[in-house]
Amino acid sequence: MDWYLKVLKQYFDFKGRARRKEYWMFVLINTIFSVLLTLVDMGTGLYSDIYGTGLLSSLYSLAVLIPSIAVSVRRLHDTDHSGWWLFYCLSR
């Protein structure tokens, strides 16, 4: 959980490096939270079959969007790549 909170504390920090453990622990905990919030959305009736998402899980995804991009860029820096590689890979 410390790795997850560390990423959230570095909300807009696109400089520096993120070690493998920091990145993957953030991804793991983020995925667990997303699944749990989707289940809560389904249980409370906030899930929309039309859009394939729920209110709580959508708000959570928006809240962690920038930290997710930031930790991905820092991870690329740790592998000696520019942060722009992220956008190149996403555009393919």
Give the model confidence (pLDDT) of 70-84 as tens digits.
Answer: 999 999 999 999 888
Number of domains in the chain: 1
* pLDDT on residue 1: 82
Whole-prediction pTM value? 0.87
Q: Which domain holds residue 40?
A: 2-91
E-strand ranges in 1-92 read 47-48, 53-54
| pLDDT at 90 (0 to 100) | 81
Interior angle at CA 10, CA 4 and CA 14, nearest 5:
120
